[in-house]
Chain A
Amino acid sequence: MDEILKIKANDLRSKICSGEVKSLNIVKACVTRIKKTDSKIRSFLKLNENKLLEQEATCSDKKIESGKKCGSLEGIPIGIKDNIMMKGESMTSASKYLENYISPYDATVIEKLKKAGAIFIGRTNMDEFAMGGSTETSAYQKTTNPWSLEHIPGGSSGGSAAAVSMGMVPFALGSDTGGSVRQPASFCGIVGYKPSYGLISRYGVCALASSFDQVGTLSKNVKDSALLASIVMGKDYKDPVCEPREQIDCISYIDDNLEVLKSVKVGIPRQLFNYKMDTEISENFNKAVDKFKFLSVKIVEVDIPSYKYIPALYKIIMCAEVSANIATFDGIRYGYRALNAENLDDEYAKSRAESLGYEVKKRILFGTYVLGAKNYYRCYHQAQKVRTLLINQISDAYKKCDFIFSPATLQMPVKFGETLSEECDVFLIAANLAGLPGITVPYNFTNSSMPVGMHFMGSRFSDVKLFQIANAFEKISDFDLNKYPEL
């Protein structure tokens, strides 16, 4: 592996700007790495043309040489999950339905990255319409976990996670509706960040469940996620739920000394101990807690009884929104259309039956059920009430602590074909249900050399503080950031 690929994005930024490192060399190294390893990892659905990439990199290098003003990610490669719109490019959301779809516009996050001078290497694999936690529901290919090829990379942003983990790109964008950035990041031994709901524009991101969807970042370390988040965040009139907040340079708030640990109060939900957890995870979690204690970090127990309802209420609300959001894929205006339909209803039925995968159909049916006139109050409405209850209980918890700390997942990545439990991502999903920021940070390797990650969840719009604690945690973790998977 080319040593240049081990330079973190934030350092690359200064090295490219000072001329110490050429963008062209990084891009070439990325492409070589992808060529060498992605036949086994299968993280990219589409790679941009080599010639074009080299042209763009050369262009960035020239800009820097001539002293022209350059963007804050000038010449740095990035991977983009295939559910984010880029004008003139395909956008499949890993569904057969959108196999030939070309985006007519740029998502706001893409617009911002273009302005920042980033170089788009390609589009990463995912679960179909981001529905899944293994990237196995992709209509196109299965992405493997770079640390063990028989294991899932997690999902739905499994392609982005695997690509970053493997060192094919320094960082990538994903989307997180119910842990879809943080869970694969944790499974692949990298950092995954989901912002507070409303911090990053959703405009141009293929919707899964609108009230949970947020664009998230995947990177080797915390600072790179902070860097990427700083670029793509901020108000956008095109997304009404996006809060009118200015962009913040998150990195400037991150200190590498461990001062933050002295003032912070870390909360651990009492409910955490009710769950069945893989031994390697609970052992590492306990070690992490011990380390906090050793460093005199204040640890408090918090009580969030509604945690037990999380899987059910997430499933109900998410599927309800899915059933409406996916309805637009009807074979009429764009996308897959069945050719042998007899009438309009048959056209809808066949187009959808032939182009949507099992998981997608299952969620549409479930969502349709919970919104039916007979079930609405007992299912959907009830779930929204419990969601409010959960939000209130979490708010109460934040009166006692600054962050809620937990393992990222309850289980280690499973082998292909095996399923994770419904509760596996419960700590991650809590953040989506409550609109809170969350970040997973790799903590250690297991005996079988698989990464284990921990999760911090902050209060709404405490994203900068979240990066501070995550960065400190990264410093005290036993994870070797310079270790990359070997194939």
Chain B
Amino acid sequence: MIKQKITLAVTGLNNTDNPGPGVPVIRGAKDSEELEVRVIGLVYENLEPGIYMENLCDRIFQIPYPSSGSEGLIERVEQIHQQEKIDVLIPNFDAELFSFMKYEKRLAEKGIRTFLPTLEQFQEREKDKLPEYGEKYGVKVPDSINLGSLHQLNEVASKFDYPIMIKGQFYDAYKCFNIEQAIYAFHKVASKWGLPVIVQEFVSGTEVNVVALGDGSGTTIAAVPMRKQYITEKGKAWGGITLADEKMLELTRVLIQKTKWKGGMELELIKTSSSDYYLIEINPRIPAWVYLAVGSGQNIPEALIKLALGMEVKPMKEYKIGKMFVRYSYDMIVDLERFAAISINKEI
């Protein structure tokens, strides 16, 4: 079979102890039997490990952070496109999704295709709106209160038993066992992520995750459930194993069907001892552990690329159960020239 040649641009090559999904996405794309992928790595910083990995990217370009304005980011991508003809772009950072969603049309007109959730899908899943989300789509979520000020914390005590979870709007979560810890966590989270601070009922159980891909019309193209076997201090999985859990898959399929989710996603769930599932978070993109799905039979990055190109993709139902991933760190020996090139010329 002749492979179709395409050029794929990917961000998030930061395979650190808090890894971005770029490298596993590229690995998945390169495993494809239908596509021959030329890879353009898009990096924000000069030490992203993906820059230095051999046989990963064909070209590498530095791009400006979206925080300095989406316009600048998009213009840089268009400039790279003129030179390299990008067919599909997969952004992998939460912080850049807003910009790429906003300029999706403009990029598509130039021939750069993406496969992203809509702005509405993106916003309604935000953490401080989780209770409404749960109600709207019929999934169990932990009870929560949005706090606008510290004195509201007193109301919390009458509503929840300790421990409680204190969470920032965008990031950070602390488990608190008493009011003192809660006050401390409130200040910490509020100073970093602003108000509201979210207080969530603590649901005890096992944390399980699903990586999935929705086609935008309600069909689940891929879904693989996993349990984290070891979690680092930063809350990232260091090892994980695929599960045979029809309930989790059903929950995923129903959610994707009701929301008509478009693109990659990760569901974070708590499975209680009575086998209830509570949705605690939805990440609107492919997670860093996606290669576990590829390795167990569902090549999500490849399927996403094909969807972006408008090709037909049949839902994948099978995957190997009990497959594991174990992360490792590895010291690459690299030359200063590569560092100099990305730092000075902004491209390699």
B is bound to A = no
**A residues bordering B, Cβ < 8 Å?**
none
